[in-house]
Amino acid sequence: MEGPLYEVFVRSRRGLNHVHVGSLHAADDATAVRHARDVYTRRNEGVSVWVVRADAITASSPDEKDAFFAPSGDKVYRHPTFYDVPDDVPHM
Amino acid sequence: MSAHPARLTPAVALGLHPNGRGRPWGCLRRLVGVATALPEHVTRVTLIPDRSVRNGVVRMSATLETFEEVIARHERVEPRDAMPERYRATLVRQIAQHAHSEIIGMQPEGHWITRAPSLRRKAILLAKVQDEAGHGLYLYSAAETLGVTRADLTQRLLSGAQKYSSIFNYPTLSYADVGTIGWLVDGAAICNQVPLCRTSYGPYGRAMIRICKEESFHQRQGFELLMTMMAGTDEQRAMVQESVDRFWWPALMMFGPPDADSPNTAQSMAWGIKRDTNDDLRQKFVDMTVPQARRLGVTLPDPELRWNDERGHHDFGEPDWAELKAVISGDGPCNAQRLAHRQRAHDDGAWVRAAAASYAARSEQEES
């Protein structure tokens, strides 16, 4: 049997977030961690691995992407560049 | 169930601990062995629950020797690492205080949302207050990697056991205060926070990076607001000056007591939690702000403020440390009001939490 699908996240070094690198199949959580090491960190790519069962992830829907993220689209005033501060004002 | 993930630390799985290989608890025994040889001030070794592991079993992946090495190399400590209890406790206190400051910090400006003079200013102010809420959440989340819960931290804020920044205990008496807070208060916060992006605890540093990116908008909107008012009527200019007069000294106090009176600073710096002393940051803030004030056309209310060529810095007067002490211990102008408001918001939100929980329970029932 191939087991459930796991998504794999690797921290490449201390101080950085775990980043999604791909997925794999494993019989259980512990095996998934071992497999993740073998599949994704054979060349010292990581100092820490997370695995999470893919069916435990709730995601936004690609079809609704536009509507879902629309609320931040028209709020230009959330960006510092929106504000007129003369160039000769230092440290800003 | 085939294996017992609870008994296999990824560190062992990854072969990082030769001693632990084949013996699931080997590295734990090794850790306990190390703990007996610790310096006196380290009373016990803390194992941090790792949120990444579902069963919630307490784990660790490094010894305290590793902790010292990581600190010595100026690298980041991550949630799985063993760490001295005092390091953990210091971080919980500092991150929680920081998170509480963001949450309480919504109040002084939130006060003006309904009275903003234009739709533009109202949208900006809403966005800014919303950011403060977000910053609070980033920080609570970083604190939770240290084995505390947000609910518990909230309780400690409400009971007065944990503090928040003294600055938010001052009232916002005029709309100019919105600009002054953006310029001076957020400016001081940026001075404090930029070095914290390099703090030794990984999740805290990463939260600070997100926050610093967003703070830039806060400071610039404040300065722009003040510049607009300074280009207006005499009455508006007087309003800005009056606001700056009230906020200048409290802004300087945001950096905390003078170094000589800050007993935790040395240890925090040795651990890389803090990267600069209170007085150094205060000096930096003054040096950055003086030319901005000049450009704005306001006077900073300190007769002793002048450039010192020899030092290469501005000299400035001594803040009223008795006032800081009083405000921190609960006797500021708005302490009671701020906490009462936070408590009220928490109580008023009870039905929302109950409704969400009940909806979730019903959805689960319908699915099964």
Reported confidence tier of residue A72, pLDDT bands at 50, 70, 90 = confident
The pLDDT of residue B47 is 43
Question: Which residue of B14, B80, B120 is in closest CB contact with A37?
Answer: B14
The pLDDT of residue B64 is 74
CB B156 within 8 A of CB B162: yes
For B215-252, write each residue's pLDDT tens digit.
999 999 999 999 999 999 999 999 999 999 999 999 99
CB contacts < 8 A (A, B): 95
Residue B210 touches partner A, C-beta closer than 8 Å? no
Q: Are strands B45-46 and B48-49 parallel, antiparallel or unpaired?
A: unpaired
Residues of chain A with C-beta less than 8 angstroms from the C-beta of B291: 89-91
pTM: 0.85
Q: How many CA atoms lie within 13 A of B45 on its CB side?
A: 26
Give the residue, B94 or B24, on which the prediction is more confident. B94
Residue A92 DSSP code = -
Residue B184 DSSP code = I
Report the candidate in B137, B109, B97, B124 with the shortest Cα–Cα distance to residue B254. B97
Contact criterion met (CB < 8 Å) for A90 and B5: no
Residue B5 touches partner A, C-beta closer than 8 Å? yes
- Please compute the mean of the pLDDT values over residues B341-365 and round it to a whole number: 96
Q: If DSSP codes are grouped into helix, strand and coil, which group holds residue B308? A: strand
Specify the amino acid at residue B161: A
Which residue of chain B is at minimal alpha-carbon distance from A37?
B14
Tokens of B137: 């959440």
For A40-56, write each residue's pLDDT tens digit.
999 999 999 999 999 99
Check pLDDT > 60 for residue B7: no
For B294-344, write each residue's pLDDT tens digit.
999 999 999 999 999 999 999 999 999 999 999 999 999 999 999 999 999
Tokens of B243: 């606001």
B167 phi/psi in degrees, rounded to 5: -60, -30
DSSP letters for B118-170:
SHHHHHHHHHHHHHHHHHHHHHHHHHHTTT--HHHHHHHHHTTSS---GGGGS
Residues of chain B with C-beta less than 8 angstroms from the C-beta of A90: 288, 291-292
Mutation target to probe the B interface, by most B beta carbons within 10 A, among A16, A33, A35, A49 is A33
Terminal-residue alpha carbon distance, chain B: 22
How far is it, in rounded angstroms, from Cα B309 to Cα B255? 24
Residue B205 touches partner A, C-beta closer than 8 Å? yes
Check pLDDT > 70 for residue A63: yes
Mean pLDDT estimate for chain B: 86
Contact criterion met (CB < 8 Å) for A28 and B2: yes
Check pLDDT > 80 for residue B185: yes
Residue B223 touches partner A, C-beta closer than 8 Å? yes
CB A39 within 8 A of CB A8: yes
Contact criterion met (CB < 8 Å) for B220 and A17: no
Reported confidence tier of residue B66, pLDDT bands at 50, 70, 90 = confident
All residues at 6 or more sequence positions from A15 whose CB lies less than 8 Å from its CB, including other chains: B75, B76, B78, B202, B205, B206
The pLDDT of residue B80 is 81
Residues of chain A with C-beta less than 8 angstroms from the C-beta of B186: none
Name the β-bridge partners of B84.
B45
Residue B271: count of CB within 10 angstroms of its CB: 20
